[in-house]
Amino acid sequence: MADHEPTRDGGCGDPALSQELRDALALLSEHSHDEDFRTLVEDVLTGRCGLVEASSTAAFSNVVFASIAQEFHQLTAQEKARLATQAGSSEGEATACGSPCASCAGVCALRGSPSQ
């Protein structure tokens, strides 16, 4: 595995989180039939492109965000309400890790704990 700066891979400087993100991208790529997406993932995994940069492309959106939207539409009204309640809850709210990768606050917040 190549060395990646936290701002490049979205892992907040946490090697374990960086590896999880890389593994998830590799898995998505393996199961995708979209050649543009597969090329984009390869660019991220080899360090030619950062995850934040990649996530703003059409190739990424067409694969990742489209499937998230599709899954969301399959949820029941009760499941959607539960998710909305969780999203609006300030109890146990995560914060950014405070490391130099300020652009990754979303990843840190999803983890639920600060990176050290």
Q: How many residues does the chain have?
A: 116
Q: What does the pLDDT look like over 13-43, one tens digit per residue?
A: 778 888 888 899 999 999 999 999 999 999 9
Q: What is the secondary structure of 71-87 as a DSSP string? A: HHHTS-HHHHHHHHHHH
Distance, CA of 110 to CA of 114 (rounded, Å): 10
Q: What does the pLDDT look like over 46-67, one tens digit per residue?
A: 989 888 889 889 999 988 888 8
Give buried/exposed letters for 105-116 (b at 16+ CB in 10 A, else e): eebbeebeeebe
Largest CA distance in the chain: 44
Residue type at 79 in one-letter notation:
E
CB 29 within 8 A of CB 41: yes
Q: What does the pLDDT look like over 71-110, one tens digit per residue?
A: 888 889 998 888 888 877 654 444 444 444 444 444 454 4
Indicate the domain borders of the chain: 11-111
The radius of gyration of the chain from alpha carbons, rounded to an integer in Å, stands at: 15
